[in-house]
Amino acid sequence: MSKVLYIIVCAAGPAAGVGKLVTLAQDAGWTVQIIATPPALDFIDVPALERQTGRPVRSRYRKPDEPKPPRADAIIVAPATYNTVNKFAQGAADTYALGLLAEAPGLGIPVVVLPFVNSALAGRAPFRRSVDELRAEGVHVLIGPGEFEPHAPDFGGDISGTYPWHLALSALHTPGT
Protein backbone atom coordinates (compact mmCIF):
# COMPACT_ATOMS: atom_id res chain seq x y z
CA MET A 1 0.00 0.00 0.00
CA SER A 2 1.44 3.39 -0.97
CA LYS A 3 1.82 6.17 1.51
CA VAL A 4 -0.47 9.21 1.43
CA LEU A 5 0.94 12.66 0.75
CA TYR A 6 -1.19 15.72 1.37
CA ILE A 7 -0.15 18.63 -0.81
CA ILE A 8 -1.50 21.85 0.64
CA VAL A 9 -1.53 24.51 -2.05
CA CYS A 10 -1.89 28.22 -1.27
CA ALA A 11 -2.89 31.19 -3.41
CA ALA A 12 0.43 32.18 -4.97
CA GLY A 13 1.69 32.42 -8.53
CA PRO A 14 3.20 28.94 -8.81
CA ALA A 15 0.00 27.24 -7.59
CA ALA A 16 -1.20 26.69 -11.16
CA GLY A 17 1.76 24.34 -11.63
CA VAL A 18 1.07 22.09 -8.63
CA GLY A 19 0.37 19.24 -11.04
CA LYS A 20 4.14 19.03 -11.51
CA LEU A 21 4.55 18.16 -7.84
CA VAL A 22 1.70 15.66 -8.07
CA THR A 23 3.48 13.90 -10.94
CA LEU A 24 6.79 13.82 -9.07
CA ALA A 25 5.09 12.44 -5.95
CA GLN A 26 3.14 9.81 -7.84
CA ASP A 27 6.29 8.74 -9.68
CA ALA A 28 7.92 8.30 -6.25
CA GLY A 29 5.08 6.03 -5.11
CA TRP A 30 2.86 8.43 -3.16
CA THR A 31 -0.92 8.55 -3.22
CA VAL A 32 -1.65 12.28 -3.44
CA GLN A 33 -4.46 14.26 -1.83
CA ILE A 34 -4.66 17.95 -2.81
CA ILE A 35 -5.83 20.34 -0.10
CA ALA A 36 -6.36 23.90 -1.31
CA THR A 37 -6.72 26.97 0.83
CA PRO A 38 -10.00 28.65 -0.16
CA PRO A 39 -8.24 31.46 -2.10
CA ALA A 40 -6.06 28.89 -3.91
CA LEU A 41 -9.13 27.47 -5.65
CA ASP A 42 -8.92 30.44 -8.03
CA PHE A 43 -5.29 29.59 -8.87
CA ILE A 44 -5.58 25.88 -9.68
CA ASP A 45 -7.38 23.71 -12.21
CA VAL A 46 -9.51 21.67 -9.81
CA PRO A 47 -10.98 19.23 -12.40
CA ALA A 48 -7.53 18.51 -13.88
CA LEU A 49 -6.04 17.85 -10.43
CA GLU A 50 -8.94 15.59 -9.52
CA ARG A 51 -8.37 13.58 -12.70
CA GLN A 52 -4.63 13.45 -12.03
CA THR A 53 -4.95 12.29 -8.42
CA GLY A 54 -8.19 10.33 -8.70
CA ARG A 55 -9.32 12.14 -5.56
CA PRO A 56 -11.44 15.24 -4.89
CA VAL A 57 -9.60 18.46 -4.18
CA ARG A 58 -10.51 19.39 -0.62
CA SER A 59 -10.75 22.94 0.71
CA ARG A 60 -13.23 22.63 3.55
CA TYR A 61 -14.01 20.31 6.40
CA ARG A 62 -16.07 17.32 5.33
CA LYS A 63 -19.76 17.06 6.10
CA PRO A 64 -20.78 14.30 8.53
CA ASP A 65 -22.10 12.10 5.72
CA GLU A 66 -18.97 12.44 3.56
CA PRO A 67 -16.24 9.79 3.71
CA LYS A 68 -13.06 10.49 5.62
CA PRO A 69 -9.99 10.99 3.46
CA PRO A 70 -7.04 8.70 4.13
CA ARG A 71 -4.73 9.98 6.86
CA ALA A 72 -1.57 11.72 5.67
CA ASP A 73 1.80 10.06 6.09
CA ALA A 74 3.45 13.36 5.13
CA ILE A 75 2.43 16.89 4.15
CA ILE A 76 3.97 19.35 1.71
CA VAL A 77 2.83 22.97 1.74
CA ALA A 78 3.72 24.49 -1.63
CA PRO A 79 3.57 27.21 -2.62
CA ALA A 80 3.31 28.42 0.97
CA THR A 81 2.31 32.05 1.38
CA TYR A 82 3.42 34.55 3.99
CA ASN A 83 -0.03 34.35 5.57
CA THR A 84 -0.10 30.54 5.75
CA VAL A 85 3.42 30.27 7.19
CA ASN A 86 2.60 32.78 9.92
CA LYS A 87 -0.78 31.25 10.75
CA PHE A 88 0.72 27.73 10.81
CA ALA A 89 3.38 28.88 13.29
CA GLN A 90 0.71 30.51 15.47
CA GLY A 91 -1.35 27.33 15.52
CA ALA A 92 -4.32 28.91 13.75
CA ALA A 93 -6.92 26.47 12.45
CA ASP A 94 -9.40 28.78 10.74
CA THR A 95 -9.41 26.80 7.46
CA TYR A 96 -9.33 23.10 6.70
CA ALA A 97 -5.72 23.36 5.47
CA LEU A 98 -4.58 25.17 8.61
CA GLY A 99 -6.48 22.73 10.82
CA LEU A 100 -4.53 19.86 9.26
CA LEU A 101 -1.26 21.75 9.69
CA ALA A 102 -2.02 22.72 13.29
CA GLU A 103 -2.42 19.07 14.19
CA ALA A 104 0.39 17.52 12.11
CA PRO A 105 3.41 18.18 14.38
CA GLY A 106 1.53 16.76 17.36
CA LEU A 107 0.66 13.64 15.35
CA GLY A 108 4.26 13.15 14.22
CA ILE A 109 3.39 13.73 10.56
CA PRO A 110 6.42 15.10 8.67
CA VAL A 111 5.74 18.52 7.14
CA VAL A 112 7.78 20.28 4.45
CA VAL A 113 7.03 23.94 3.68
CA LEU A 114 8.29 25.56 0.46
CA PRO A 115 7.43 29.25 0.74
CA PHE A 116 6.82 31.59 -2.17
CA VAL A 117 7.29 35.03 -0.62
CA ASN A 118 9.06 38.18 -1.64
CA SER A 119 12.14 39.47 0.15
CA ALA A 120 10.22 42.34 1.79
CA LEU A 121 7.87 39.86 3.49
CA ALA A 122 10.57 37.26 4.20
CA GLY A 123 12.67 39.90 5.93
CA ARG A 124 9.93 40.85 8.38
CA ALA A 125 10.40 39.82 12.00
CA PRO A 126 7.04 38.00 12.22
CA PHE A 127 7.94 35.78 9.25
CA ARG A 128 11.47 35.07 10.50
CA ARG A 129 10.04 34.15 13.93
CA SER A 130 7.46 31.89 12.30
CA VAL A 131 10.12 30.04 10.30
CA ASP A 132 12.24 29.61 13.44
CA GLU A 133 9.24 28.39 15.48
CA LEU A 134 8.20 25.88 12.82
CA ARG A 135 11.75 24.57 12.49
CA ALA A 136 11.93 24.20 16.29
CA GLU A 137 8.87 21.91 16.05
CA GLY A 138 10.56 19.77 13.39
CA VAL A 139 8.88 21.31 10.34
CA HIS A 140 11.26 21.47 7.38
CA VAL A 141 10.96 25.03 6.01
CA LEU A 142 12.87 25.37 2.74
CA ILE A 143 13.84 29.03 2.70
CA GLY A 144 17.16 30.76 3.00
CA PRO A 145 20.72 30.21 1.81
CA GLY A 146 21.20 26.83 0.21
CA GLU A 147 17.44 26.30 -0.11
CA PHE A 148 14.91 28.55 -1.84
CA GLU A 149 15.51 32.29 -1.80
CA PRO A 150 12.69 34.84 -1.59
CA HIS A 151 12.04 36.73 -4.82
CA ALA A 152 12.20 40.49 -5.31
CA PRO A 153 8.98 42.39 -4.60
CA ASP A 154 6.75 42.73 -7.69
CA PHE A 155 8.66 39.98 -9.53
CA GLY A 156 6.87 36.86 -8.26
CA GLY A 157 4.95 36.44 -11.49
CA ASP A 158 8.18 36.55 -13.46
CA ILE A 159 9.61 33.51 -11.67
CA SER A 160 6.50 31.41 -11.00
CA GLY A 161 7.44 29.04 -13.81
CA THR A 162 10.78 28.23 -12.19
CA TYR A 163 9.36 27.33 -8.77
CA PRO A 164 11.40 24.34 -7.52
CA TRP A 165 8.66 21.80 -6.75
CA HIS A 166 11.26 19.02 -6.61
CA LEU A 167 12.91 20.53 -3.52
CA ALA A 168 9.81 19.89 -1.44
CA LEU A 169 9.55 16.26 -2.44
CA SER A 170 13.26 15.58 -2.04
CA ALA A 171 13.02 16.86 1.54
CA LEU A 172 10.74 13.91 2.39
CA HIS A 173 11.93 10.37 2.85
CA THR A 174 11.06 7.99 0.05
CA PRO A 175 7.88 6.02 0.83
CA GLY A 176 8.55 2.61 2.32
CA THR A 177 11.90 3.50 3.85
Which is higher by pLDDT, 142 or 144? Answer: 142
**Residues 6 or more apart whose Cβ sits within 8 Å of residue 136:** none
Q: Set out the domains of the chain in order of their start, with CATH numbers.
A: 4-62+69-109+139-170 (3.40.50.1950)
Contact 163, 17 (CB under 8 A): yes
User: How does pLDDT run across 67-117, given as a tens digit for each residue?
Assistant: 888 899 999 999 999 999 999 999 999 999 999 999 999 999 999 999 999
Least confident of 110-114, 128-132, 168-172: 168-172
Contact 43, 81 (CB under 8 A): no
Which is higher by pLDDT, 1 or 31? Answer: 31
* pLDDT value, residue 12: 93
Is 70 exceeded by the pLDDT of residue 174?
A: no
* pLDDT value, residue 101: 98
In the Cβ-directed half-sphere of 126, how many Cα atoms lie within 13 Å? 10
For 126-136, b/e burial (b = at least 16 CB within 10 A) is ebeebbebbee
Is 80 exceeded by the pLDDT of residue 151?
A: no
* pLDDT value, residue 73: 96
* pLDDT value, residue 159: 66
